[in-house]
Structure 1
Amino acid sequence: MMTQQTLLLVDGSSYLYRAYHAMAPLTAPDGTPTGAVYGVLNMLRRLRADYPHDYCACVFDAKGKNFRHEMFPDYKATRPPMPDDLRPQAEMLPELVRLLGWPVLVVPDVEADDVIGTLARQGAENGLDVIVSTGDKDMAQLVDDKVILVNTMSGETLDIEGVKNKFGVRPDQIRDYLALMGDKVDNVPGVEKCGPKTAVKWLEAYGSLEGVMAHAGEIKGKVGENLQTALPQLPLSYDLVTIKTDLDLHGELPEGIDSLRRRTPKWTQLAVEFKRLNFRTWLKEAEERRHEAAGDLFGGSHIGEQAALADMPDNGQTLPRENIIERPEPPATLNYQAITTEAQFAALLEKLAAAGQIGLDTETTSLDAMNAQLVGISIAFQAGEAVYVPLGHNPTAAPEQLDLQTALGRLKPYLESEKLKKTGQNLKYDQHVFANCNIALRGISGDAMLASYIVESHKGHGLDELAERWLGLDTITYESLCGKGAKQISFADVALEQAAGYACQDADFALRLEACLKAQMDDKQLEMYEQMELPVAQVLFEMERNGVHIDKAELAAQSRELGARILELEQQAYQAAGQPFNLNSPKQLQEILFDKMGIPTKGLKKTASGGISTNEAVLESLAHDYPLPKIILENRSLAKLKSTYTDKLPEMIHPATGRVHTNYAQAVAITGRLASNNPNLQNIPIRTFEGRRVRRAFTAPAGKTIVSADYSQIELRIMAHLSGDKTLIEAFKNGEDIHRRTAAEVFGLAPELVGSEQRRYAKTINFGLIYGMGQYGLAKSLGIDNLSAKNFIDRYFARYPGVAEYMQRTKEQAAQQGYVETLFGRRLYLPDIHSKNGNARAGAERAAINAPMQGTASDLIKRAMIDVRDWLRSDGLASKLIMQVHDELVLEVVDSELDLVKEKLPQIMAEVDGGLLAVPLVAEVGNGENWEEAH
């Protein structure tokens, strides 16, 4: 369960004009006007302090015309040109905003409103709370239960009720309202003499623009005549004021919403700009930020903002460790060198022979570790001292290079030495690169990414971000050398001088950062870093390298059957709808479900643009009563399964190994859980027959068997331990069916009298409470009324008082210290625990309850991975780990070792808690020719 997160979107163009008219005229020493720039930057500063957020973007209008000019050539024709003293400010502002740590978007052919509308919709659909900072009334059409507007210049906040109170209409009527009035500033035609009061009156009477147009003949007087005259162009006006929410922004945001994670300001460059612009107060603060321990002029970190700290109770408590950044002193000079001659290389080898610890990094041709080719190696010996060995640059970029195979042969003994300790940034990737060159990288003793993950799991762990946050240093970025998007060049084409500076910096900063972050850890965190995360990285490397065997013929057969079933469902959908239509078009589906079929829309979720949503949750709510939504859901599910797995997996088989090699991301989820990608093996659906069937394609070669070991009800067992509830502990110690026992407690029955439906209720309650489910969520899950759900929860807590006490105790602890911990000391920060937003705070409290359970479960499975791998290795077994999926380990076992593995594996997994848990751990083991059989 993750804390509810927030996306903050800023209408930069709107604020630029408003700041221009509101601020006194200021100028820089060179005469450049700066008043509007100062106003916008000050607004951004206030926003970061007042509205804690995890993702953000500042959006500006692109130059030139956009798609609305094609619809209506006179669109904005009456707008005066940009004032001469505003133009240079508009040009410099986006880069200044970027330096402040805000992702900036300027998208051609559309307006900033459309970009914000699309991001707001995507954010809401991804479960984020969305705040749009603007002074533009058009944006009110975006407001819904996930999106609010704030105006920092007026202090106004608009949610759904706020929009009604201000404009007199609902957010979904704003477009009708604007179309009727028109907009003189944008030259959008409306109904002459129709002002806000008239528009509200008509919409109250007729509901929508379509309703007003349909009843135009009933409206008397001059304004009625004006309405009749305007009828032909009102649909155009409606389209002009409609903010698009479906733009394709993949080119600007290749990682989707994740591309908008908030970033640390680049203080060194800001200091230069503030000095140039004569922003003296900010200049002083920017310079101090490189050395200060805490505080953030523009909100560089989520916890640690002075505004957020001001909200914390003044009770003498200790602030979180992360607010005290102990930065090491930077070296006086940098000694970076490119190694291109035999003499330089010989000197490097002598230095390696005498070294005990180095920083290490590779430059390659690809982010795909299994296929990446080596371009160069960088090695750091101490802070500020590093070398770069180019080995695979194109001759035009690096005319002088050592021979690749010869150099690697001479470096191999040092790279494979356990004695020479190596530190880097995500060294698992570099291990793969060296393995591709037949070098087994050993002696890994530190990883800055993993150290950061231990110290501050809720923040970003990229090297650039860490260097700014912990060293106070700006970095040379990959994009600055190679570009981005379609025009990005290979690192092999980067000129040696620039490549060497970048590569040396990576090895140098990784070495410095790991030492700095390690110094922040307490004893528990240090043990977790050294005894869990670093060893797990080695297990993951081996699992990724092992890969899993895939049966292409099985997947091909499944694809054919899925394709036939998808076509069959399309025909059923056409029949149910009474006409053919595009099943993937939300607009067409909307029209058929709610207009043609007349399905009631009361209570259904709306999109950011005001229409009725046809997302999965809405269709599921309708599928109980109507056949078409059920058909659409099945069609979508099977189409996704086909495109994501049965069609895609065969394409991902490595040509050299004949196996699929996923990547396990170790530093992503704040709870410690691993994430699988390319392909994602953890998201294969198992609730449907078709989803489970995909696992049949994960097979063992001849002479081997797939073995699966899965922890049984691990989070409920952890709940029993953490809560200390005697009844729960007793049930697990006695090996009882915990859901049957809960049903017996809640319904007041003897366990043997509990029926299947009662057990289902109990199971929903057991797992629901772990994830912070309240009475409304339980009522929805069970299909019962809220009062009945409340009674179930009350009876549960009456029978398990320790659980209720644990939940209350944990929320109080989280509020006091800003984080909770797992059983083994993993610290899980809760940035929104003091949020002024009630929903965000409630989400943080739910996460506080769940995170120790999910986090402890993650710690246990990691311990199991280490212990199982060590046992396989120490006993010289040929069987190997090939997958980890949530609470499950999957092995490829040699047939002759099967009985031993099935006996020993559950024993090892049951003992990884070291006797800390008050209840026994149980791992259930199965085997088969494929993963589905084994599971």
Structure 2
Amino acid sequence: MSNKIVLIDGHSILNRAFYGLPDLTNSEGLHTNAIYGFLTIMFKILEEEKPEYLTVAFDVHAPTFRHKMYAEYKGTRKPMAEELRQQVPVIKEVLHAMGVLTIECAGLEADDLLGTLSKRCEEKGMEVSVISGDRDLLQLATDHVKIRIPKTKQGRTEVEDYYAKDVKEKYQVTPQEFIDLKALMGDASDNIPGVPSIGEKTATKIIAEYHSIENAHDHVEELKPPRASKALREHWDMAVMSKKLATINVTADFPYELYEAKLGSLYTEEAYDYFQKLQFKNLLSRFDVTKAAEKVEEGFLEISDLYTAKQVFLEAAGAECVGACIFKNGKDVLPLFADQAQMGGIGLCFQKDKSYCIRTGEGISEKWLLERLSETAGSAGRFVMFDLKEALAYLRLEDPKNCFDATVAAYLLNPLKNNYTYEDVAREQLEILIDEKAKEQVKVCYEAYTAYRASSLLWDKLKECQMDRLFADIEMPLVFTLYDMEKNGVKVEAEALKFYGSQLGSKIAELEKEIYEDAGETFNINSPKQLGVVLFENMKLPGGKKTKTGYSTAADVLEKLAPDYPIVAKILEYRQYSKLKSTYADGLANYIGEDKRIHSKFNQTITATGRLSSTEPNLQNIPVRMELGRLIRKVFIPEDGYVFVDADYSQIELRVLAHCSGDQNLIEAYREAEDIHRITASQVFHVPFEEVTSQQRRNAKAVNFGIVYGISSFGLSQDLSITRKEAAQYIEDYFKTYPGIKSFLDDTVKHAKEMGYVVTLFGRRRPVPELSSSNFMQRSFGERVAMNAPIQGTAADIIKIAMIGVHKRLKGRQMKSRLVLQVHDELLIEAYQPELSEVKEILREEMEKAVSLDVPLEVDMHTGENWYEAK
């Protein structure tokens, strides 16, 4: 290594990384993109420079000389974005953990520290590299001081390098003259006002000729063009101030010992812990973690003989906690039915220092292995797996009381993440990084080990957050309910589905023909670019918004035109029918199994509010607004001898809002079983109840449901096609009618801002990080989330309780009837004809008595020979 030092402008590089990278957050909700970008740039520079010394300089919050001067000119500087501000102390902690010297000094900016240090180090005969995104630092460039400016191009970081000769070549001025150049042209990014009417070209020409603003001022009458002469003469005071603002102090007085900046190993154990918490998986590979991994893996054993396997299961019998996993050769995902695939073996852990991978073969059959695992699970104090629902096809598990799904627990603690794999939990809870290239048997041992070790930590955190009862009483029993629903599936009449598709195809072809006739030409209706040209250039329709790729033909743009232009209405209709055909008529056919049923997957760890989602295929998104869309429900049919019973909560979210807000007017209206939308219309629009028009009722309904979702006056005006002022008045009158709701929503947002999360009636937490955003739109979104999440989340918890109750009673009475679908507030039962009256009774009781609220829960129930009739 050479006698070289790297000096980094801390805030500048953080700022560049923050705005150059997409937002990142770790599992605790900390924004991390600036930290990650800073470290990436720092590592790149260090690898290129290989310096002996490193120092990172930061600004301080106390105002400096230049802050004060700028404040006199133009007020205070723009405040730092909150998401960036919270990352500043963390990067300092990370750097200290890596043994990197950081400096800051009250009254001095980082520029002054860097300028002074570069001069001091150069005088000691050192080579200096200054890293900053601020071109003001180009004035520091010499033959031995190199200014390096990182730039992001197409997602990659490139660095521009400047010695003194490079500054002269690029800007036609020396580094010292660069100060004067900035004084004339200004720099908005660094709050240097410059001289009005003098741009970069003119400023460069003036300084290249006169070398300083003072000399230029002495020859002010000679300056060209005349407007530059006039500007400098009239704004000389601004030029002088700008030069002071642009000049970096290279003789500042502050303590600094070079030996403290000497670089050692950056990859310390303390730094590794920080990288784990920040979830910088890509950067963790820089650390030597083989020793830590070897220590954990010392207790990993692969077993392939029957005798040893028997001994392991004997030891596991009655263990306080057992972590397990089932794996299938070559694939991670287990099938819904155990007889559909060959499993490779199991992972088992019931001791702190041992984890086993027990393989099938050599006397160990699948059947024997799964029977022993089921016995072990039944005798364990706590039986832990990731994605337990996926393994239920293999195991004889009926009672969820001792079962612990680590995936569900991790989800409850942070419902904003995308996945909750054992690798994620190992990293977050155990601070273990699992090598992606590890052998299969090692991964199997790790999954069982993580399940065993993490369960107590997850449980303690659930109790700390008061979500232990939510987990034990709702989410864990729900795992078993959902498994049975998936296994049951729902029957689909394939021929009816095919006929439905042909109906849609005919309608699409008919619309296509009409659209071409109206347009006077043929074109690709599915091409936004071609459609935009036809509508806004050829047909001259108003409201065309041109983007980089052409005119916008998004739904919101076309919906405004549809009432006045029939072709646009037909295009929207065409799009709806095309989606129906591709997604449902054609799409659903791919999921019909050999048993003529669709076995959709129900996910309980996807949404942030606690609602279930449905995939492969999504049966919760079956269209309901269009009649032709609703008709698809006709293809879903019960088995012979069965009938569908569909039960749907009536206005559950409004009822939950009434209870949570304690608003007596709304509670009373529900208790008297009156038409809630008509009552709202009567009170908001000041008309007698009997005289409320259908339009007024529709508007009141929009307000009722809009309030639940934190609707704005703009949103309501769009929904009702009224002015924003009228919409604002509707909302104001609504809150006068139901003052308790206004107080509840305000208090909920206030609580979310203070605590960072909102809570349902059952303790489910939904973090709302958007409320701390520096972006107004994001904060507004956060407020809507804060208003809606407790209501929607509570409604989701209630339907889950009802599902569990219905499922338990059907199974407990050994009935043939079965729960087959859940669509948000709706349950669908495939009822055995002789059990129909009992099924209705169970459905009504379990749904209406799922929870006791200040207002009654009501259920609409219908039967039918297909889902369409039942709905």
User: Would you call these one fold, judging by a TM-score over 0.5?
Assistant: yes
Amino acid at match of 1:468: R
Contact kept in structure 2, 1:52 and 1:835, CA below 8 Å? no
Q: Aligned to 2:561, what secondary structure does the other structure show?
A: helix
Change (3 A) 1:611 1:340: same
Q: Which residue of 1 aligns with 2:859?
A: 923
CA positional deviation for 1:612: 2.5
Amino acid at match of 2:333: L
Change (3 A) 1:133 1:447: farther
Task: Give the alignment partner of residue 666 of structure 1, picking from 595, 604, 621.
Answer: 604
Contact kept in structure 1, 2:374 and 2:397, CA below 8 Å? no
Contact kept in structure 1, 2:273 and 2:431, CA below 8 Å? no
Change (3 A) 1:709 1:367: same
Task: Give the alignment partner of residue 616 of structure 1, picking from 528, 540, 555.
Answer: 555
Contact kept in structure 2, 1:448 and 1:511, CA below 8 Å? no
* CA displacement 1:721-757 (0-9 Å, x = unmatched): 1111111000011111111110011111221111110
Q: Kindly indicate whether residue 424 of structure 2 is the aligned counterpart of residue 465 of structure 1.
A: yes
Contact kept in structure 1, 2:655 and 2:857, CA below 8 Å? yes
Q: Which residue of 1 aligns with 2:788?
A: 850
Q: Aligned to 1:891, what secondary structure does the other structure show?
A: strand
Q: Which residue of 1 aligns with 2:344?
A: 375
Q: Kindly indicate whether residue 707 of structure 2 is the aligned counterpart of residue 743 of structure 1.
A: no
The 1-side partners of 2:44 and 2:601 are apart by 54
Change (3 A) 1:720 1:420: closer
Structure showing greater relative contact order (alpha-carbon pairs closer than 8 Å, 6 or more residues apart) = 1
* TM-score of the superposed pair, with normalisation by structure 1: 0.64
**Identity over the aligned pairs, expressed in percent?**
34
Amino acid at match of 1:476: D
CA positional deviation for 1:368: 6.0
Q: Which residue of 2 aligns with 1:50?
A: 84
* CA displacement 1:128-165 (0-9 Å, x = unmatched): xxxx9999xxxxxxxxxxxxxxxxxx9959xxxxxxx9
Q: Which residue of 1 aligns with 2:640?
A: 702
The residue correspondences of 1:74-113 to structure 2 (distance < 5 A) are none
Q: Which residue of 1 aligns with 2:387?
A: 426
CA positional deviation for 1:627: 2.0
The 2-side partners of 1:52 and 1:682 are apart by 39
Q: Which residue of 2 aligns with 1:679?
A: 617
The 2-side partners of 1:166 and 1:597 are apart by 46
* CA displacement 1:149-205 (0-9 Å, x = unmatched): xxxxx9959xxxxxxx9999xxxxxxxxxxxxxxxxxxxxxxxxxxxxxxxxxxxxx
Amino acid at match of 2:591: M
Q: Kindly indicate whether residue 605 of structure 2 is the aligned counterpart of residue 646 of structure 1.
A: no
Contact kept in structure 1, 2:809 and 2:842, CA below 8 Å? no
Change (3 A) 1:582 1:503: same
CA positional deviation for 1:419: 5.4
The 1-side partners of 2:838 and 2:264 are apart by 72
Amino acid at match of 1:803: I
* CA displacement 1:470-503 (0-9 Å, x = unmatched): 21110133xx36xxxxxxxxxxxxxxxx211011
Q: Which residue of 2 aligns with 1:246?
A: none
The 2-side partners of 1:378 and 1:538 are apart by 22
Contact kept in structure 1, 2:604 and 2:611, CA below 8 Å? yes
Contact kept in structure 2, 1:706 and 1:890, CA below 8 Å? yes
CA positional deviation for 1:428: 0.7
Change (3 A) 1:360 1:639: same
When Rg is computed on C-alpha atoms for both structures, the one with the higher figure is 2
Q: Which moved more, 1:857-866 or 1:576-585?
A: 576-585
Taking only aligned residues, the RMSD between alpha carbons, in angstroms, comes to 4.1
Amino acid at match of 2:375: Y
Q: Aligned to 2:578, what secondary structure does the other structure show?
A: helix
Q: Aligned to 2:677, what secondary structure does the other structure show?
A: helix
Q: Aligned to 2:827, what secondary structure does the other structure show?
A: strand
Q: Which residue of 1 aligns with 2:322?
A: 358
CA positional deviation for 1:696: 1.0
The residue correspondences of 1:591-606 to structure 2 (distance < 5 A) are 591-601=533-543, 604=545
Contact kept in structure 1, 2:511 and 2:574, CA below 8 Å? yes
* CA displacement 1:575-615 (0-9 Å, x = unmatched): 1211111111111111111111111236x4x54x3633112
Q: Which residue of 2 aligns with 1:414?
A: 375
Change (3 A) 1:725 1:835: same
Q: Kindly indicate whether residue 502 of structure 2 is the aligned counterpart of residue 533 of structure 1.
A: no
Task: Give the alignment partner of residue 807 of structure 1, picking from 745, 752, 757.
Answer: 745
Q: Which residue of 2 aligns with 1:520?
A: 461
The 2-side partners of 1:358 and 1:754 are apart by 63
Amino acid at match of 1:616: A
Count of matched residue pairs: 651
The 2-side partners of 1:503 and 1:552 are apart by 41
Q: Which residue of 1 aligns with 2:443?
A: 502
Task: Give the alignment partner of residue 500 of structure 2, picking from 558, 570, 594.
Answer: 558
The 1-side partners of 2:703 and 2:721 are apart by 13
Contact kept in structure 2, 1:710 and 1:887, CA below 8 Å? yes
The 1-side partners of 2:485 and 2:42 are apart by 60
Q: Aligned to 2:850, what secondary structure does the other structure show?
A: coil
Q: Which residue of 2 aligns with 1:576?
A: 518
CA positional deviation for 1:466: 2.0
Specify every segment of 5 or more residues in structure 1 that has no aligned partner in the other structure, as ranges.
Answer: 1-6, 54-111, 117-131, 136-153, 158-164, 169-276, 301-327, 392-399, 482-497
Q: Which moved more, 1:555-564 or 1:453-462?
A: 453-462
Q: Which moved more, 1:917-926 or 1:360-369?
A: 360-369
Contact kept in structure 2, 1:421 and 1:444, CA below 8 Å? yes
Q: Aligned to 1:918, what secondary structure does the other structure show?
A: coil
Q: Which residue of 1 aligns with 2:433?
A: 474
Q: Aligned to 2:761, what secondary structure does the other structure show?
A: coil
CA positional deviation for 1:638: 1.2
Amino acid at match of 2:454: L
Q: Kindly indicate whether residue 44 of structure 2 is the aligned counterpart of residue 10 of structure 1.
A: no
Q: Which residue of 2 aligns with 1:339?
A: 303
The 2-side partners of 1:344 and 1:549 are apart by 46
Q: Aligned to 2:378, what secondary structure does the other structure show?
A: coil
The 1-side partners of 2:846 and 2:22 are apart by 56
Task: Give the alignment partner of residue 413 of structure 2, picking from 455, 459, 476.
Answer: 455
Q: Which residue of 1 aligns with 2:489?
A: 547
Specify every segment of 5 or more residues in structure 2 that has no aligned partner in the other structure, as ranges.
Answer: 1-17, 24-33, 59-79, 88-151, 161-186, 191-196, 201-261, 283-291
Amino acid at match of 1:287: Y
Change (3 A) 1:444 1:699: farther
Q: Which residue of 2 aligns with 1:637?
A: 576
The 2-side partners of 1:282 and 1:832 are apart by 33
CA positional deviation for 1:875: 2.4
The residue correspondences of 1:94-243 to structure 2 (distance < 5 A) are none
Q: Which residue of 2 aligns with 1:395?
A: none
The 2-side partners of 1:848 and 1:879 are apart by 39
The 1-side partners of 2:795 and 2:508 are apart by 38
Contact kept in structure 1, 2:603 and 2:613, CA below 8 Å? yes
Change (3 A) 1:632 1:898: same
Change (3 A) 1:417 1:586: same
* CA displacement 1:302-361 (0-9 Å, x = unmatched): xxxxxxxxxxxxxxxxxxxxxxxxxx9998764111111122222123223353431111
Contact kept in structure 1, 2:649 and 2:859, CA below 8 Å? yes
